[in-house]
Amino acid sequence: MNTPLPPRLSVSGLEVAFGGLTALDRVSFDVHDGETVALIGPNGAGKTTVFNAVCGLVKPRNGTVRIAGRPAPAKATGLLKSGVARTLQGLGLFERMSVLENVLVPLTSLRDPGAVAKALGVLAELDLVHLAARPAGTLPYPERKRVALARALATDPKLLLLDEPAGGLGTADIDALADLVAHVAASGRAVLLVEHHVDFVMRVADRIVVLDFGQVIASGTPEAVQGDPAVEAAYLGLEAAI
């Protein structure tokens, strides 16, 4: 009998406090390979704190974060070796460096001998090869967003953390991004995202976890969460929440 594989990401009983303020209170959820989970809630609900706890940027008071059944790295520098990549809301690109050089950054840190070929392969997958030599800072915002995603995908992560990937994008670019996220999940990767754009979340998420004042108040499919009385009571409707 085969033993079931552990979740790619398992957050259990997570508690984080800053001084006397409780930012997260017994937050628990899992993300499995090939699954996209959206973490939603109003500003200050604790979404970014969850991301930072997973990445080792904040230390939980209680609870655990496990990646593929093992404790998550205590420091962010261990994420790549654990198969985790994260995009930043502020992109974090080196604007004077070329698109290719930006995508090579994490591969160089891993001393990957096939770095250039891998970087070009990801750029091709995201239709960015024709921009490989362009300085990243000269590109329109939607294309810079794709470069940031390409850099994250270059390390072939098993878990991809997306911080407001649809922010600042128009309708056509959001549609293209939704197709890309679906492609990433279909390749077997686990995706956890924080997002405020309701149509994007409803389109890409297999499950939604709703936070309110650091607590999980609802969790389930997009359809179940949208109709959850607790969510409606807390946010006067899902659209107000995200």
Q: What are the residue boundaries of the structural domains of the chain, listed by start?
A: 1-76+190-242
Candidates 73, 57, 69, 54; CA nearest to 14 is: 54
pLDDT score at 99? 94
- 12-53 pLDDT, tens digit per residue, is 999 999 988 899 999 999 999 999 999 988 888 899 899 899
pLDDT score at 235? 59
pLDDT score at 238? 47
Q: How many helices (H) and strands (E) does the chain have?
A: 9, 10
pLDDT beneath 50: ranges in the chain: 236-242
pLDDT score at 129? 93
Judge contact between 135 and 95, C-beta under 8 A: yes
Judge contact between 134 and 125, C-beta under 8 A: no
> From CA 73, how far away is CA 59, in angstroms rounded?
11
Amino acid at 170: G
The token duo for 7 is 């979740």
pLDDT score at 194? 92
Query: Can you name the residues that pair with 160 across neighbouring β-strands?
Result: 85, 191
Judge contact between 157 and 189, C-beta under 8 A: yes
> From CA 219, how far away is CA 187, in angstroms rounded?
24
Beta strand 36-40 pairing with 207-212: parallel
pLDDT score at 242? 45
Judge contact between 53 and 127, C-beta under 8 A: no
Backbone angles phi, psi at 140, to 5 degrees: -60, 155
pLDDT score at 110? 63
CATH no. of 1-76+190-242: 3.40.50.300
What pTM was computed for the model? Answer: 0.88
